[in-house]
Chains A and B, each alone.
Chain A
Amino acid sequence: MRRHEVIVVGAGLAGQRAALAAVEAGRDVAVVSKLHPLRSHSGAAQGGINAAVGAEDSVDTHIYDTVKGSDYLGDQDAIEFFCREAGPTVVEMEHFGTIFSRAPDGSLARRPFGGAGFPRTIYAADRTGLALLQAIWERLATDASRFTLYQEWDLTRIVVREGKVQGIVAFDRKTGLFEGIAAPAVVVATGPSGRIYARTTNAHSCTGDGVAAAYEAGALVKDMEFVQFHPTALPESGILITEGARGEGGILKNAQGERFMSKYAPHVLELASRDVVSRAIATEVAEGRGFEGGFVHLELMHLGKERIESRLQEICDFCRNFSGIDPVTQPIPVYPAQHYMMGGIGTNAKGATNVPGLFAAGEAACVSIHGANRLGGNSLLETLVFGKQAGIAAAAYAQQSSDRPVVTDADVNASQVPIRAMMARSDGEDPSKLRAEMQATMDRYAGIYRTEADMLEGIRRIRALKARYANVRIVDRSQVYNLNLTDALEVGHMLDLAEVIVVGAYARTESRGAHFRIDYPKRDDARWMRHTLARKSAEGPELSYSPVAYTRWEPKERVY
């Protein structure tokens, strides 16, 4: 058994920031990740990071925009803290070495983003996530002796005994060996779970492993029914076209050449909140005003070659490589795709969960600051602000803890035995097929528009898939880099989370932010201004609800 003081699972921006904080607090830190840290999905974030640093802007406006964007489901105390930390966080990242784009006067350049009152999104061309990821890794790995990196290790469980975290069980892809790693504090920062859906902007690795493991270990997961669909993705592949493209002046048109956002958000048009723009595109296509194949056009041509190629360099490459389109001369076909989970492991603003010793941060967590709909530019900021908080809190917890946590052979076997059984089967379910059916189910029954009948069908189908999963089979019997084993584990994780999404969405009989019920099209503050909490039980997710924290901002109707 290996032993550390703090284990951080996931090495994207949130995980690395947590690890850095725990290392700086003097703790013995392990970073466990199924990808090399520089390959984390944080690197795919394009548009930017919000901080109200402009003279005309204010932290209060950032708070208000975030509260409004959340459709009043965000916790206002956490949002206030979050927005106050924005400026110092960006400065810190600049000092760590991030190469941000600059204004002519040498200050950090800013661009407008959806749902924001001022141009507040600081960026590094259209690869802001990559720029931040490189800088945080350079900082963390400056002295590699300060922590232990378990690179390309897959998490299989979080061990909790007598109500307290004991550590984790994980296996090394290179050897296939399962091992226990003990620590009093575990930070889950495993990022997105977007591969629950077929049409997603997320990387293949975004399978919610940490969220599912925390749920399995007794953590409450929060607000999972709120799934953000990004308005502009390439229809065939789901590859993201940054909101920065609209921030730079890109416009949306339907097949009739109409700039249709004027009907849905007359004041800010394309720069309305993401939920609003995604519904608008889905409606245009559903009502027959899309192009053949089911998409609308994003036009950048009027911005001119120079601006497109300098500020949207990656986008140019994506379009040219992946859809054969040159955005300098042609419109880009776009349709919404799953992009972000507002929900996740429920935490407070220090990253603590309901399980002592278990912490979470980033997209895997739900503080909640995004509520029912996240604003563009707030997720990169979230990873850094709350990654740091979770790292500090986990380090303090580990230091104060007098327990000697243990991961036993029985704990390791609890992960290993079912996998041996999956490998021993001569017949059984193919994880790839289960995954494809789950993804099709979620696209169809838990998408942008939802109804009671859809939700019930979604629940029925996901439960049928879970039943089949009990008989899943791993065909590949190799010990080395067995991806078939990873497939099987990941689809198991995702099926658990898919069930939480559909059950939570069925229960929530209102429309708020990204959760839109055709049968309940209005927001219902009297009944539903509260968070959904799900606890795992043998019968499926057990739901309960908790109040939204609020300080200064009364709920109002949301108009853009």
Chain B
Amino acid sequence: MGAKLLEAPIDVYRFEPGRDAAPRYERYTLTVEPHTPVLTALLKIRAEMDPSLTLRYSCRSSICGSCAMQINSKSRLACQTPIGPEIERHGRLVVEPMRNQPVLRDLVVDQAPFWRQYDRIEPHLKLDPRHPMPEGKPNPMSPEEVARFYETPRCIACAACFSACPAVEADPDFPGPMALAKLYRFVVDPRDQAHQDRLVRIQTGGLWLCLRCHLCTEACPKDVRPSERIRDLKELAIAAQGGTEPGSRHAIGFKENIRERGLLQEMKLVRQTEGLAGLVGQAGQGLRMRRKKPEITKKPRAIEGLDQLQTLYRELDHPAEGEP
């Protein structure tokens, strides 16, 4: 409304596998207002310049999750990304399909890998027939209990996190940020009666493959903060079962290491994480490291002020009454 108009060159990825030899980038130049969303521009291209441009879209108000794509190499919702700041920051606007899902055509990807991971975490309430729902009445739930889910139900399954995730790219066993955030939603739902089973199974089901890079949280258009939900799940999994996997043993070992000396004891951590067999398996690397950095195999001296650190640990493990 009255804002200064902008001449925006938009480079759009075009590719139809099986028909085109290789992907290409097509440049469209549009006159838009700086706050015009990328989706609006793409629809203008479709309506006025090139009706063969192919993308998914529906609600244009960031609630249906259809229009996630790579905008200047970041996974974003096209309907929620204004053009002006993109051009200002990057000097250009490049629009490409999401990653980690094969391209069907142009900006449309095959979301089957994403939905497969979603299905894998069994995203529905699991009930125990011995504890039926209250008949004819809703389950009572306090506003505080609901607040534990405050973020996760905002998820619109747009797959921006799945696209941004390097662990998804590296390992097909990793459920991905969305599926894990969804799992968290069931694990804290007081109505669900399979919390323990879900936590035990996800320990071997890919939970510990998360790299903690937080790119999912950066990509999420609805502030679900999947990496924080994954961290919450890890805590709940350890509380439920202790360290059964290299991942959880590593986390526990790390914590105990620091508690003991205030410093990481790398050899000890390898043994804690991988077990004795693991230590043997990594012996070659250990010897090489020892040549470069002999102190690594020695037990480190305790740091100064270790007693204060240990007080902190005690506080965190057993918070005093009345603490939040």
Contact = CB atoms under 8 A, between A and B. Distances in A.
A141 interface: yes
Chain B interface size range: 35 or more
Interface stretch (B48-56, B164-172, B284-292): B48-56
A152 to B, nearest CB: 9
Interface in B133-149: 133, 136-143, 145-146, 149
Nearest to A234: B61
A97 B54 contact: no
Interface string B1-16: 1000000000000001
A427 interface: no
A139 B51 CA distance: 38
B63 A314 contact: yes
A478 B138 contact: no
The DSSP consensus for interface residues of chain B is loop
A157 to B, nearest CB: 23
B191 interface: yes
A96 B125 contact: yes
13 contacts: A35-B66, A36-B111, A39-B157, A43-B156, A44-B64, A99-B149, A105-B140, A107-B140, A130-B154, A131-B153, A139-B124, A204-B58, A314-B63
Interface string A472-501: 000110101111100100000000000000
A478 B63 contact: no
Query: Which of B61, B119, B137 has the most chain A CB atoms inside 10 A of its CB?
Result: B61
How extensive is the interface on chain A, given as a class?
35 or more
B104 A127 contact: no
B62 interface: yes
Contact of B137 (A91, A96, A239, A322): A91
B46 interface: yes
B133 A95 contact: yes
Nearest to A483: B54
Contacts of A139: 124
B318 interface: no
A321 interface: yes
A72 interface: no
Contacts of A38: 65, 156-157
Interface of B: 1, 16, 18-19, 35, 37, 43, 46-48, 51-52, 54-55, 57-66, 80, 104-106, 108, 110-111, 115, 119, 123-125, 133, 136-143, 145-146, 149, 153-154, 156-157, 189, 191
Contacts of A134: 153
A322 B62 CA distance: 10
B138 A94 contact: yes
Given A39-B66, A484-B51, A102 B143 contact: yes
Interface in A95-136: 95-97, 99-108, 124, 127, 130-131, 134
Given A43-B64, A102-B141, A314-B63, A205 B58 contact: yes
Interface string A459-481: 00000000000000001101011
B1 A239 contact: no
Contacts of A478: 16, 19, 52, 105
Contacts of B157: 36, 38-39
A239 B63 CA distance: 11
The 10 A-B residue pairs with the shortest CB-CB distance in the complex, in nearest-first order = A106-B140, A476-B52, A432-B47, A138-B124, A94-B138, A203-B59, A484-B51, A97-B125, A205-B58, A203-B58
Contact of A293 (B1, B51, B143): B1
Contacts of B55: 483
Interface of A: 35-36, 38-41, 43-44, 88, 90-91, 94-97, 99-108, 124, 127, 130-131, 134, 138-139, 141-142, 144, 174, 203-205, 236-237, 239-240, 293, 313-314, 317-318, 321-322, 324, 430-432, 436, 475-476, 478, 480-484, 487
Given A96-B125, A293-B1, A480-B104, A44 B59 contact: yes
A35 B58 CA distance: 9
B138 A100 contact: yes
A130 B156 contact: yes
Contact of B142 (A106, A124, A174): A106
Contacts of B63: 43-44, 127, 130, 314
A321 B124 contact: no
A236 B58 CA distance: 17
A481 B142 contact: no
Contact of B119 (A104, A105, A144, A313): A144
B61 A240 contact: yes
Nearest to B66: A39
A203 B64 contact: yes
Contacts of A239: 60-61
A88 B135 CA distance: 10
A208 to B, nearest CB: 15
Given A41-B64, A107-B138, A318-B61, 19 more contacts: A35-B64, A39-B157, A41-B58, A107-B140, A127-B153, A134-B153, A138-B123, A139-B124, A141-B119, A204-B58, A236-B1, A475-B52, A478-B52, A480-B18, A480-B54, A480-B105, A481-B106, A482-B54, A487-B51
B52 A39 contact: no
Nearest to B57: A204
B60 A483 contact: no
B157 to A, nearest CB: 5
Contact of B61 (A44, A107, A124): A44
Nearest to A322: B61
Nearest to B52: A476
A102 B105 contact: no
A108 B138 contact: yes
B62 A321 contact: yes
